[in-house]
Amino acid sequence: MDVVAAGFWGAFFCTATLMLVISLAAFARSHRRVALMAGVTSVVSAAFVVAYLGWLPLHDVGVEARVLAHVAIATAVCLALMLMSTLGMLRQRAVGGRAMALLVASGLLVLAAGWMLEAPAALVLSSVTAFAIGAGMLLVTIRGALRGDRAGWVAVAGIVCMLVALAGLSWIAMNRTTAWPVHALSATAGVVYLCVIAVVLWARYSYLLELSEVLAHGPSYDPVTRMRSHSETGQMVGDIFFHRDAEARPIGVIAICIANLYALENLHGRAAFNHALFICASRLRRTVPQYVEMGRLSEDGFLLLVPNAGDLQRVAQLAQQIRNRMVRPVSLSVSRDPAGLEAARTVWEAEIGIGVLVTNTQVRPAQAISTARAMARTAWTYGSRLAFFDQDAGQIAELQTDWADLAAWAA
């Protein structure tokens, strides 16, 4: 092998080794599923590269081709399952079971067909099948990314790199005299793939670390929501409303109340309550712009203050975005054991109500917040789950989601 090519592959094996060491550290912290996925991904990837570079102690070309055909299928199935588990695609047992059965059955079918062919043809068939499995995973991750999956586009980039590395290694296995640029491209793509998987797993690992603390401490531990505590929310309201200028400043008040949190606690315990609150707060933070101030509003709600918001339509659009994000189903864990946090067995949907109020800083803050909260609780009875105070009727009413009608009303 060329010296330059050896250097690139050395970088790849260093990356795989580092990933394996990190997985052992995660295993020591009791997050065994994360450690298993990282360890298996690094070991399987390294073993595949070793085999396809021709470093196995096999001297017969036919035998080597047969072995590589089996290695290609086993690696493709294993990495596909690891990636699906990393992205949370196997949480639903029925869907995950069918996906696993389909992958394994396809692999066995290809291997059986390969034994009816010559060894080189079997290697080509297995390599093409492995590439097809990777392409299928690429389509699945693109679909998830288009639906708003946070790790979706990162996973897409990783799978693209994996396909590049697979194509390069397949070419190397079939043409042992390949020039060093093919080795360099394949090794670089393999390094990027491992780095992407490490990033996704680290995000999952840090999420589980924080979630374990949340389930242990409950609402008294502020990282449940990673927002202002109740007392700090009161301080925030005071700072905004009592910082008076020469003129009253418009401000939008959004109150969010979750109706079924306490029912969840009665059915599944405090850990499920804390997990649900944690997920709702995480979704809220990802939806709300940076200029919006937010904090806790009792144990079952949140308060948002939108500065300089004199336009009801602007605040209503933000409220609708919040509603659309927070009502998505979530799989909850009912275990306090860190090793069992991913064993989500309870599917829950937040029954939320959102009250939207456009006022100004000259209004008493207690009155504004109590009004918004009352509207949020009233919104539980509305189909849109959005409520506002109709000045003409003098009562709480359902907020229009047709922006043309809403703009006409505001005018």
List the single range of 29-43, 61-75, 246-260, 364-378 with lowest mean pLDDT: 29-43
Residue 409, pLDDT score: 42
For residues 52 and 389, what is the distance between their CA atoms, to the nearest angstrom? 68
Q: Which residue has the higher pLDDT, 127 or 394?
A: 127
Evaluate if residue 223 carries a pLDDT over 70: no
The CA-CA-CA angle for residues 311, 313, 318, to 5°, reads 105
For residues 396 and 378, is the Cβ–Cβ distance under 8 A? yes
Could you tell me which residues come within 8 angstroms of residue 223 by beta carbon, excluding any fewer than 6 positions away?
Answer: 210, 213, 214, 217
When pLDDT is averaged across residues 177-195 and rounded to a whole number, the result is 84
Q: What is the pLDDT of residue 285?
A: 83
**Would you call 345 helix, strand, or coil by DSSP?**
coil
Tokens of 337: 């054991």
| Positive or negative torsion for Cα 160, 164, 170, 171 | positive
Q: What domains can you pick out in the chain, each with its CATH number? A: 3-216 (1.20.1070), 221-410 (3.30.70.270)
- Average pLDDT on 164-170 reads 87
Kindly list the distances between the CA atom of residue 134 and the CA atoms of 143, 158, 166, 176, in Å, as whole numbers in the listed order.
14, 11, 9, 24
pLDDT tens-digit map of 61-97: 788 888 888 888 888 888 887 777 766 666 666 666 7
| pLDDT tens per residue across span 127-158 | 888 888 888 888 888 887 777 666 677 888 88
Q: Which of 223, 27, 216, 51 is nearest to 123 (CA)?
A: 51
Q: What is the pLDDT of residue 159?
A: 86
3-state helix, strand, coil in the chain (%, to 5): 65, 10, 25
- Is 164 a residue whose pLDDT tops 80? yes
DSSP state of 384: S
pLDDT at residue 214 in the model: 60
Q: Which two tokens stand for residue 220?
A: 């008294």
pLDDT recorded at residue 295: 83
The 8 Å CB, 24+ separation contacts for 34-43 are 34/201, 34/204, 34/205, 34/208, 37/82, 37/85, 37/86, 37/201, 38/197, 38/198, 38/201, 40/78, 40/82, 41/79, 41/82, 41/194, 41/197, 42/16, 42/17, 42/194, 43/16
Instruction: Give the mean pLDDT of 328-343.
Output: 64
What are the Cα distances from residue 163, in Å, to 135, 156, 359? 8, 11, 55
**CB count in 10 Å sphere of residue 175:** 10
Q: Cα–Cα distance between 69 and 47 in angstroms, integer?
A: 13
In the prediction, which pLDDT does 221 show?
Answer: 44
The whole-angstrom separation of Cα 51 and Cα 49 is: 5
In the structure encoding, which two tokens stand for residue 158, read together? 């990783």
Other beta carbons within 10 Å of 399: 25
Residue 335 has phi, psi (to 5 degrees) of: -110, 140
pLDDT (0 to 100) of residue 406: 47
- H helices of 87-118, in order, are 93-114
Which residues are CB-neighbours of 180 under 8 A, at least 6 positions away? 2, 4, 5
CB 359 within 8 A of CB 253: yes
Beta strands in 45-158 (DSSP E): none
Report how far Cα 332 is from the mean position of its chain's Cα atoms. 14
